[in-house]
Chains A and B, each alone.
Chain A
């Protein structure tokens, strides 16, 4: 149970971080990105829109995973 909770918290954190990263990619030109981020390019005004979309998709996937994983156990009716 503890492990499940940890996994959900981790998925939410990573999901939110990736969505924030996506916004950074969309807003900031390549020259303004931190040097440790993929896509950083000194002097370039190019916006890495595709990197942003990729980060957003993975972030969204993490949040969806957390959404399903955090649901409690459901009582099942005998009749189907």
Chain B
């Protein structure tokens, strides 16, 4: 069940970490997010999600990698080389997120480990999504042409750095990585569809690297007794992650972040009140 939830909530802008903290508390499961077996389980589900994202956008990644190689070889990013520009935008966005993640992950997870704080930050996430929709630069409308081309033209280096940096906010349970990056995409002038695409491309190296860094825990002694459930969880996460990314890419062609903002506000408020009583 946690695997299904993880794959689904990792890509929807509703915070997978927040849900994996709140749900066990609501259902009375004896799981804590800092328990070693739970972290090992999450590593497997994250790895599955990253592989699904990589598979879903594999043609884009191939083009991006070729573009990166081309620009390194030529020692310039040609103005018409959108693959190279998009590739370096992803690099520029990934570096701050990766560094902040490496340095702050443990501290933030320990400070905001409780289900109460996750519920409160889920409300904050909802507000952030509402604000991003309210302050967006571009009105939502169907667009034509190559989406990667549009992203490369509209997103600047500072924008990519900024969007990458706010990804680190997702280290706090309750704040969604895809939510803040989609919101950031809207603020820099992308449409919902392009913001979602940019968010998923930006998430792939970060989720994948985070999982790969913790693979020794999965295959080491810490993974004893958890590998079976972790494999089942990873398979479930892979299925729901695939269905989620397919659904979301279509959904954002014509829709906004507003329903997810409303859900986060309502669910966060309901859980906060429940935990208080």
Chain A interface (Cβ < 8 Å from any Cβ of B): 50-51, 53-54, 57-58, 61, 64, 67-68, 70-71, 74, 80
Contact = CB atoms under 8 A, between A and B. Distances in A.
Given A61-B95, A80-B80, A68 B75 contact: yes
Contacts, number: 32
B8 to A, nearest CB: 29
A6 B98 CA distance: 28
B102 A67 contact: no
Interface in B64-85: 71-72, 74-77, 80
Given A67-B75, A71-B76, A53 B95 contact: no
18 contacts: A50-B102, A50-B213, A51-B102, A51-B103, A53-B98, A54-B98, A57-B95, A58-B95, A58-B99, A61-B95, A64-B72, A67-B75, A68-B71, A68-B75, A68-B77, A71-B75, A71-B76, A74-B76
B72 A67 contact: yes
A80 B81 CA distance: 12
Given A53-B98, A54-B103, 6 more contacts: A50-B103, A53-B102, A54-B102, A58-B95, A71-B75, A74-B74
A46 B204 CA distance: 29
Interface string B91-109: 1000100110011000000
Contacts of A71: 75-76
